[in-house]
Structure 1
Amino acid sequence: MNMASIGDADPFTAAIPATKVELTVSCRNLLDRDTFSKSDPICVLYTQGIANREWREFGRTEVIDNTLNPDFVRKFIVDYFFEERQNLRFDLYDLDCKSDNLSKHDFLGQAFCTLGEIVGSLGSRLEKPLIGIPGKKCGTIIIRAEELSNCRESVMLQFCGNKLDKKDFFGKSDPFLVFYRSNEDGSYTICHKTEVVKNTLDPVWQAFKIPVRALCNGDYDRSIKVEVYDWDRDGGHDFIGEFSTSYREMCRSQSQFHIYEVLNPKKKGKKKKKYQNSGTVTLLSCLVDTELSFLDYIRGGTQINFTVAIDFTASNGNPSQPTSLHYMSPYQLNDYAMALRAIGEIIQDYDSDKLFPALGFGAKLPPDGRVSHEFPLNGNPQNPYCSGIDGVMEAYYQSLKSVRLYGPTHFSPVINHVARYASAVTDGSQYFILLIISDGVITDMAQTKESIVNAASLPMSIIIVGVGPAEFDEMIELDGDEERISSQGRYAERDIVQFVPFRDYIDRRGNHILSMARLAKEVLAEIPDQFLSYMRTRGIKPGPQPPPYTPCPPPAVHPLHTRRGLFPSHRRQRCYAPPQTNPSPPEIFRPSAPPTSAPAGSGAPWGSGQIKMQQGLHPALLLASANIHWHRPLCTTASGNEDLQAQQSKTHTHTHTPLITESLAVSCDLQRRYFGENKSALQRHGCVLVTSLYLLLYSVQNVNVISFLVNKSCELY
């Protein structure tokens, strides 16, 4: 289920939604397209953009087997805009196989409406006939809308049954529970189904977690109806009985069991004296928890690590030819580059260092022509990191010029590569996302499945983008939305793969920015849920959130620094002051044998190898002082005002930071105080050192250390 907004597909011009609305779909009297059983229906929702009027798939419900009257549990959560006409289309299909390609399934009918039409209907319930098959009555569709509350609680419930009615002739019953929340008009909306427990009258159902919003929309006293059924293979489930409760009532049962009588109104209506109930259902546990969001973890410091893997197999075509998927056109990005930039530019915002490993697979590498399925795009196996998405793009283009496209297409090596790193950090501080961009058939399918099953227990997700016109049936199989992927009898712990074909998101008018936005929105939609599923199953809580911003008090002023010019009145205080401690003074760093004069016209500061700094010193401070030393004359006048103004003017041409201006003033003042009119190289370097130390230590506001180092530097020079 995709939680995307309905309206204009352009995310840059979309309005702010008024609220989120949950749509629940039911159908009655659908066409029966199966010969020996009933239809297996699924509902697909399409939305229409305002600008281009194109229909785009928004989401799908689950498949319900053997029924012509489905009540779908999976909802569509959409953004509601009062000021827009939000056109919707609901298509019904009878699924005949596991393929996601709808053209391979039987069409059952469709209905058109607007979101406003649903919301504005009596009780926010819209019933319309299904159309689309000439000459046939396709049944009806019922759509209910309800505004979602902002309730973030969830509840873990577990029930068991006792002495339920026997419904099967040759056995007992196969019971399951169906939960409904009540609506304002007195109707009910399905919100959960338990699993079926076979051949027992005393079932114990597995505990399940459900958002309180879904159970009662945040209204603790709203009625919740629970129906008990006996499952039948033909879809005609036998009704055993029902009971009612509320969220508040269930919460009161946290310290003790709560027993509900299961009543069948038909049996009770016959006034049989012996009828008491159709069994009982007991609430075994009710655990309430506040739902943590993806942003809670990001604010708590969790880092998202992004790795990209690009297909360099020969099926992509010769990169020098315009028909190649790797063709480097001077006018536009190819599909690989568009997918890479679209997804990477969003993910990089959650990575503090912006360094991304970029891998390739399926190519022959120079100089020996060996085939590799896990090579760094930058050519450095010891350090495959690229700086930002621009660095990844540059490495990708350089690789196209140096490697030879070959084959076959193996996914497992790059998946295992990321999994090795993810397995080393399982405390929730980091989460790994692997983007694989490929054009064709996977040739190591068994190994890839095994790698995904293993990776499902690690803090990582895999995004697969298919480019080109090929069929991607194998890649669709890896996306475990409908059926969890398995390998050698082991099932993946959770769904970590999201696959999309890029061609489905390309704008027909050639708007590549819009194509990239559509792709990113689709492939990243499942990442927060996959992320949260890992954190929840491991019981990992978000880290402490950073303290709120508070202005720092002005630093204490040492008597040594009270002279005019050392503390300009316009100086802005830093936002984050370190703890006020008195550490032992750090070692002095010394300039080592600088040249007697700088190269003429040189714009560079001291060479990086000529100054050795203690770890933790801020290089920008020394850089500022060194720039002043090499490119400005020393002040020689008593006041220094004229020279100071001239130097400040020159400073502005080199850098636009107030730090340089202040360091110049400090340098001039300290020179006048300690060195007078002497311009020897040693003393000039001493002035640079003193200035750097002053700026460094003033930044940490430690008066004792400032005094120590200023005095120490004066003794040395």
Structure 2
Amino acid sequence: SSHYSELSAAPTLSCGPVACVSKVELRVACKALLDRDTLNKSDPCVILMVQNQGQWTELDRTEVIKSNLHPVFAKVFTLDYYFEEVQKLRFEVYDIHGTHSIGTRDDDFLGGVECTLGQIVAQKKMVKPLFLKYAKYAGKSTITVHAEEISGNNGYVELFFCAKKLDDKDLFSKSDPFLEIYRINDDGTEQLVHRTEVIKNNLNPVWEPFKVSLISLCSCDEDRKLKCLVWDSDSRGKHDFIGEFYATFREMQKIGGGSKVTWDCMNPKYKLKKKNYKNSGVVILSDLKLHRVYSFLDYIMGGCQIHFTVAIDFTASNGDPRNSCSLHYINPYQPNEYLKALIAVGEICQDYDSDKRFSALGFGARIPPNYEVSHDFAINFNPEDDECEEIQGVVEAYQNCLPKIQLYGPTNVSPIISRIAKLSAGEETIKDASRYHILLILTDGVVTDMADTREAIVRASYQPLSIIIVGVGNADFTDMQILDGDDGVLRSPKGEPVLRDIVQFVPFRDFKTVSIAFLPFLILCVLFFTGLACCLGQMCPCGGAQPGGGVLQSQGHLPHAAHPIM
């Protein structure tokens, strides 16, 4: 998302902050941490803090690694990088005493460091000493942060791994196996891509499926070697090596038609010492789902059409439409803020819509005939066809709707977001489907169903959809910035991040002192350059397959080399 507030005060238009955004993945490792535990070693976790308006807030945190002074964390931090801004970060390392709790005592703090995102991106691999309070060195402790810009391919893959007949490393029980996958870089170094969870007391583990970007997995090189290690977990951090194997993403794509991809899990020492040694078990890729996600710009350049939907807030907080103080008051000489925002954005978007027909929905009102509260209704009261002819048709439907409804509440927007996301997802199955959806939500206050809305946005981020939320009136919209994602990556209540930033929130009052014409232009900049954030410098993320013969592509059981990356 763009930082529109920095632009709105300027008398002339500038799209600089929007154009210079990209996404960056950060991976963290530490060395020689202080040992705070008496019997075992420290159980470290790294918290990533970001500074916003002088305040430090937690953005995300890594997993806890038990009894380890040299941890390599599997957690990946994903951030928006604005080239022209100083984005201050702070990495804090703590020794954890419990499942998720972060200690507040000084003796739980293992060290921290402040830097800027720009410094990390410029160095690609930043190594810094850790400091305790009062700028005191934390012994010889260091933190290493690797940065990788997601610039060539914004697709991702979902992998399903299991294993059979693994070696038993425990005396009184079975092994507790986990799998690690490392990418081998051009310089021969190894980069941890993913670490699975531990499956207790099981020689035939089935690990939870996991998602990883193609950039992270193999740098979009199908033949890049991946080193895979299987370990028997030890609570004291002294994991027992079970075996290893090498794979490539090209090999993984051989899955299909009910067949699975299998690798022998080999222990090199056993192979040398044991004459009849076969393996230490087998690791199986039981399923693979490859997802390609294209940006708004990709769709436009590919010749697709936009489908525009507007959702209008009809909650009681807007005031009685018959009262001149109401935000919904129809003044024959001066359009209200809802109409101004609708016309400003709609007239721009309709240029990309060939049939000039727009869906017009409402939420938060009691509607005829039974006057039950609805959070998703057609303002023309035709559930079979909610579309209106051009923006003028939406304006007329809005004006005709007001006398027929009763403004009520609450301000729930998740039903409409879920509906449009489901509609765009359904179009994947239509041959030659080529539509990008824009949902314009006009509201006078902070949404009531914030948790459900966050969940709906995360789900919607996998679809060809962008959401523009315009706040009308003088309410405090501070909490709405959460949905925008400017202060970090938006996450569902369960912690799942959005696949891409699809929401832009703008208070309409910020444009009264500049020019209403600035609003649609800014929004188009956001739509175009939010896409460029993931594929800067390349029109098509998959390097050749133009989006036009099918919107979001998502398929499992991919045949070998059916959709090459390069």
TM-score (normalizing by structure 2): 0.59
> C-alpha separation between the residues in 2 aligned to 1:471 and 1:17?
25
Question: What is aligned with 2:312?
Answer: 310
Asked if 1:25 corresponds to 2:43, the answer is no
Map residues 347-366 of structure 1 onto 2, 5 A cutoff: 351-363=353-365
How far residue 144 of structure 1 moved from its aligned partner, in angstroms, is 1.4
> C-alpha separation between the residues in 2 aligned to 1:350 and 1:382?
24
SS at match of 1:73: strand
Question: What is aligned with 2:494?
Answer: 483
> C-alpha separation between the residues in 1 aligned to 2:133 and 2:324?
41
Larger RCO, structure (CA 8 Å, separation 6 or more): 2
Question: What is aligned with 1:215?
Answer: 217
Amino acid at match of 2:78: F
> C-alpha separation between the residues in 2 aligned to 1:155 and 1:418?
24
2:227 to 225, 228, 237: 225
> C-alpha separation between the residues in 1 aligned to 2:131 and 2:520?
32
Question: What is aligned with 1:556?
Answer: none
Amino acid at match of 2:63: I
How far residue 322 of structure 1 moved from its aligned partner, in angstroms, is 11
Question: What is aligned with 2:119?
Answer: 117
> C-alpha separation between the residues in 2 aligned to 1:444 and 1:216?
36
Does the 8 A contact of 2:182 with 2:192 survive in 1? yes
> C-alpha separation between the residues in 1 aligned to 2:530 and 2:201?
40
SS at match of 1:536: strand
Does the 8 A contact of 1:262 with 1:280 survive in 2? no
- Judged with a 3 Å threshold, the aligned counterparts in structure 2 of structure 1 residues 421 and 119 are, in CA distance, closer, same or farther, namely closer
How far residue 402 of structure 1 moved from its aligned partner, in angstroms, is 7.5
How far residue 536 of structure 1 moved from its aligned partner, in angstroms, is 0.6
Does the 8 A contact of 2:166 with 2:203 survive in 1? yes
How far residue 12 of structure 1 moved from its aligned partner, in angstroms, is 0.9
Asked if 1:259 corresponds to 2:270, the answer is no
Map residues 511-590 of structure 1 onto 2, 5 A cutoff: 517=522, 521=526, 535-537=553-555
Does the 8 A contact of 2:379 with 2:386 survive in 1? yes
SS at match of 2:203: coil
Does the 8 A contact of 2:18 with 2:529 survive in 1? no
Aligned-pair identity in percent equals 34
> C-alpha separation between the residues in 2 aligned to 1:327 and 1:282?
66
Does the 8 A contact of 1:21 with 1:80 survive in 2? no
How far residue 161 of structure 1 moved from its aligned partner, in angstroms, is 3.3
Amino acid at match of 1:535: Q
How far residue 278 of structure 1 moved from its aligned partner, in angstroms, is 8.6
- Judged with a 3 Å threshold, the aligned counterparts in structure 2 of structure 1 residues 217 and 43 are, in CA distance, closer, same or farther, namely same
How far residue 403 of structure 1 moved from its aligned partner, in angstroms, is 5.3
- Judged with a 3 Å threshold, the aligned counterparts in structure 2 of structure 1 residues 298 and 207 are, in CA distance, closer, same or farther, namely farther
Q: Which runs of 5+ in 1 are unaligned?
A: 49-53, 99-105, 486-493, 542-717
- Judged with a 3 Å threshold, the aligned counterparts in structure 2 of structure 1 residues 381 and 483 are, in CA distance, closer, same or farther, namely closer
**The 10-residue stretch of structure 1 (181-190 or 313-322) with the greater mean CA deviation from structure 2:** 313-322
Asked if 1:240 corresponds to 2:245, the answer is no
- Judged with a 3 Å threshold, the aligned counterparts in structure 2 of structure 1 residues 540 and 62 are, in CA distance, closer, same or farther, namely farther
How far residue 405 of structure 1 moved from its aligned partner, in angstroms, is 2.7
Does the 8 A contact of 1:426 with 1:459 survive in 2? no
1:175 to 170, 174, 177: 177
Asked if 1:279 corresponds to 2:280, the answer is yes
Q: Which runs of 5+ in 2 are unaligned?
A: 8-12, 37-41, 101-107, 484-489, 535-540, 542-546, 560-566
- Judged with a 3 Å threshold, the aligned counterparts in structure 2 of structure 1 residues 164 and 423 are, in CA distance, closer, same or farther, namely closer
How far residue 227 of structure 1 moved from its aligned partner, in angstroms, is 2.9
Map residues 129-144 of structure 1 onto 2, 5 A cutoff: 129=130, 141-144=143-146
- Judged with a 3 Å threshold, the aligned counterparts in structure 2 of structure 1 residues 137 and 281 are, in CA distance, closer, same or farther, namely same
> C-alpha separation between the residues in 1 aligned to 2:329 and 2:30?
48
> C-alpha separation between the residues in 1 aligned to 2:218 and 2:493?
27
Amino acid at match of 1:13: G
Does the 8 A contact of 1:469 with 1:503 survive in 2? no
1:83-106 Cα deviation digits (max 9, x unpaired): x575442455989999xxxxxxx9
> C-alpha separation between the residues in 2 aligned to 1:226 and 1:540?
21
Question: What is aligned with 2:15?
Answer: 12
Map residues 369-408 of structure 1 onto 2, 5 A cutoff: 373-377=375-379, 384-387=386-389, 392=394, 404-408=406-410
How far residue 155 of structure 1 moved from its aligned partner, in angstroms, is 7.0
Question: What is aligned with 2:105?
Answer: none
Question: What is aligned with 2:128?
Answer: 127
Amino acid at match of 2:554: R
1:188 to 173, 187, 190: 190
> C-alpha separation between the residues in 2 aligned to 1:339 and 1:132?
50
1:667-698 Cα deviation digits (max 9, x unpaired): xxxxxxxxxxxxxxxxxxxxxxxxxxxxxxxx
Does the 8 A contact of 2:244 with 2:265 survive in 1? yes
Map residues 597-636 of structure 1 onto 2, 5 A cutoff: none
| Between structures 1 and 2, the one with greater helix share | 1
> C-alpha separation between the residues in 2 aligned to 1:452 and 1:539?
27
- Judged with a 3 Å threshold, the aligned counterparts in structure 2 of structure 1 residues 168 and 419 are, in CA distance, closer, same or farther, namely same
1:510-549 Cα deviation digits (max 9, x unpaired): 77858995899499969999x99963148999xxxxxxxx
How far residue 213 of structure 1 moved from its aligned partner, in angstroms, is 3.1
1:251-300 Cα deviation digits (max 9, x unpaired): 79889854241458xx99xx988997992444557989895745666666
Does the 8 A contact of 1:173 with 1:231 survive in 2? yes
Amino acid at match of 1:176: F
**The 10-residue stretch of structure 1 (244-253 or 350-359) with the greater mean CA deviation from structure 2:** 244-253
- Judged with a 3 Å threshold, the aligned counterparts in structure 2 of structure 1 residues 273 and 422 are, in CA distance, closer, same or farther, namely closer
How far residue 230 of structure 1 moved from its aligned partner, in angstroms, is 3.8
Question: What is aligned with 1:64?
Answer: 63
TM-score (normalizing by structure 1): 0.49
Does the 8 A contact of 1:174 with 1:198 survive in 2? yes
SS at match of 1:172: coil
- Judged with a 3 Å threshold, the aligned counterparts in structure 2 of structure 1 residues 167 and 460 are, in CA distance, closer, same or farther, namely same
> C-alpha separation between the residues in 2 aligned to 1:280 and 1:396?
66
Superposition CA RMSD, Å? 6.7
How far residue 427 of structure 1 moved from its aligned partner, in angstroms, is 2.3
Question: What is aligned with 2:163?
Answer: 161
Amino acid at match of 2:241: I
- Judged with a 3 Å threshold, the aligned counterparts in structure 2 of structure 1 residues 248 and 402 are, in CA distance, closer, same or farther, namely closer
